[in-house]
Structure 1
Amino acid sequence: MIERDLEGWTLAFDLDGTLVETHEDLVGTLNRMLVLEGLPPAPMESARELIGGGARALLKHGFELAGALSERAASAELFDAFIADYIEHIADHSAPFEGVVETLETLAERGAILIVVTNKRSDLSELLLGKIDLTRNFAAIVGPDRVSARKPSGCHLVEAVTSVGGDPGRTIMIGDAAPDIGCAKDAGVPSIGVTFGYTPVPMEDLEPDVIVDAFEDIEEAVDMIVVEHYVTRALAGV
């Protein structure tokens, strides 16, 4: 029987580039928008780093990469077309990273509350996670539309945690890019940075508390942070 030694802890996960490899479907939709506008498609691998700031930012950066003016990318018509296309293709290629399913199940069995804290719209996040059968693992899926401010604001994380009865003082943020590590720092929460996601900035430069190269290593990183938390409290006589 697994010991429930993580009860009282909330683990907040970013979505794109942390839990799920989504770049093929996101860039696929971007490229269909570019082709419709008579522009060259973005190379699949080089466009990975465009992901992370949401659909509007992806469109803007994609159009700039194609050498086009960003004004068209900002149009409501194009944004609506992007969302409609993405919904149709949201899980054509997207899948959990290796080790995600097993690690989430183990962390949940150990008593942790698991949530998703993402800059992807909540309805799109729920649709994606439902199609790849990950929804059952999470107490909440919290996009920017369900909080007062999006990552990198710490409000996104704190409000998501408190919405499920969690304690921000016993929370860990896990993510792949600057908005994730930034929101953890803003909220005063420790963070785990993964190196297999979409950040254009090296994870070492973002300075999370722990860096991991594989999702399977997250459980050990969580344990390190939890032990340090309790040691610090004990030394402080709390």
Structure 2
Amino acid sequence: MLQGYTIAFDLDGTLVDTAPDLVRATNEIMDILGLAHVDVADMRKIVGRGARVSVERAAAISNRQIDDEEMARLLPIFLETYRKGIAISSRAYEGAREAMIALKEMGAKLVICTNKPTHLAQLVLQELELLDYFHGVYGPESTPKTKPDPLHLITAIQGCGGDVARAILIGDSENDVLAAQNASVPVIVTSFGYTMTKAPDLGADAFFDHYDELLELVIAVLKLNH
């Protein structure tokens, strides 16, 4: 039924709850800056626009700005700290693996479209034994403009041999919804992701509370949009 369709997934807050390990790396930077630690709840609100923005937002909680020179020094420390403990506490959301298996069995191609650096996205997927489900992983290095720009999503879909007219994005945030809508691609969001906006208010075609709902939603939304 899904033969010829491409299903793009965001990563953080959509497929995998990465916040616990991101907190560890972020607080390493907060220690260097002499700032208060962030907690997992904070992290889930500030992830989504890449590592630099996450560090900036974490510092901003303590009313601290980071200039370009300082960020150039801190960002490699953050990335290396995170890499070393990338899957200590991160876990795929309940039912996500089973949903991907079901989608692939119905003929869909799966691809990752994330603002996380590609090598880190590949590493966390590999550590959690999820990487083999995907035809490709498209991070910020794969495109001149990242989500919410539609070019990122279009690049991911076409990069794995897919057709933008026969695709759907699964995400969790405003970035995902905007990227999909501007690419004329339907979008489904999680209700448990990394955003301060409630799922019904994101403007997606549909949302779900548990991955056991996803397969039926994908089929329903694609029928509505084709």
TM bucket normalised to smaller: over 0.9
Match in the other structure for 2:110: 114
Kindly provide the amino acid, as one letter, of the partner of residue 146 in structure 2. R
Unpaired runs of 5+ residues, structure 1, are 231-238
> Cα offset for 1:218?
1.1
Does residue 1:54 correspond to 2:50, yes or no? yes
* Aligned counterparts, 1:133-152, within 5 A: 133-152=129-148
* Aligned counterparts, 1:178-189, within 5 A: 178-189=174-185
| TM-score for the superposition, normalised by structure 2 | 0.96
Worse-superposed segment, 214-223 or 78-87: 214-223
**Structure 1 CA distance, aligned partners of 2:212 and 2:71?**
41
**Structure 1 CA distance, aligned partners of 2:8 and 2:2?**
13
Match in the other structure for 2:34: 38
Does residue 1:194 correspond to 2:196, yes or no? no
Partner of 2:123, secondary structure, is helix
**Structure 1 CA distance, aligned partners of 2:147 and 2:50?**
11
> Cα offset for 1:163?
1.0
**Structure 2 CA distance, aligned partners of 1:71 and 1:94?**
30
**Structure 2 CA distance, aligned partners of 1:146 and 1:46?**
28
Name the larger-Rg structure. 1
**Structure 1 CA distance, aligned partners of 2:76 and 2:99?**
36
**Structure 1 CA distance, aligned partners of 2:69 and 2:192?**
28
Kindly provide the amino acid, as one letter, of the partner of residue 95 in structure 1. R
Contact preservation (8 Å) 2:13, 2:44:
no
Match in the other structure for 2:20: 24
Q: Deviations over 1:111-160 (max 9, x none)?
A: 00000000111111001100110001000110111123100111111111
> Cα offset for 1:27?
1.4
**Structure 1 CA distance, aligned partners of 2:125 and 2:69?**
27
Does residue 1:212 correspond to 2:208, yes or no? yes
Does residue 1:169 correspond to 2:169, yes or no? no
**Structure 1 CA distance, aligned partners of 2:68 and 2:81?**
17
Kindly provide the amino acid, as one letter, of the partner of residue 41 in structure 2. E
Does residue 1:127 correspond to 2:123, yes or no? yes
User: Quick one: percent identity of the two aligned structures?
Assistant: 35
Worse-superposed segment, 184-193 or 212-221: 212-221
**Structure 1 CA distance, aligned partners of 2:23 and 2:50?**
12
Give the number of equivalent residue pairs. Answer: 226
Q: Deviations over 1:189-208 (max 9, x none)?
A: 10001111111122222210
**Structure 1 CA distance, aligned partners of 2:64 and 2:225?**
49
| TM-score for the superposition, normalised by structure 1 | 0.91
Kindly provide the amino acid, as one letter, of the partner of residue 29 in structure 2. M
Match in the other structure for 1:235: none
> Cα offset for 1:72?
7.2
**Structure 2 CA distance, aligned partners of 1:178 and 1:50?**
12
Contact preservation (8 Å) 1:103, 1:216:
yes
**Structure 2 CA distance, aligned partners of 1:205 and 1:152?**
17
* Aligned counterparts, 1:3-22, within 5 A: 5-22=1-18
Contact preservation (8 Å) 2:52, 2:71:
no
- In structure 2, relative to structure 1, the CA distance for the partners of 1:37 and 1:160 (3 Å cut) is same
Unpaired runs of 5+ residues, structure 2, are none
Contact preservation (8 Å) 1:142, 1:160:
yes
> Cα offset for 1:214?
1.2
**Structure 2 CA distance, aligned partners of 1:229 and 1:186?**
15
CA-atom RMSD in angstroms: 1.4
**Structure 1 CA distance, aligned partners of 2:207 and 2:70?**
35
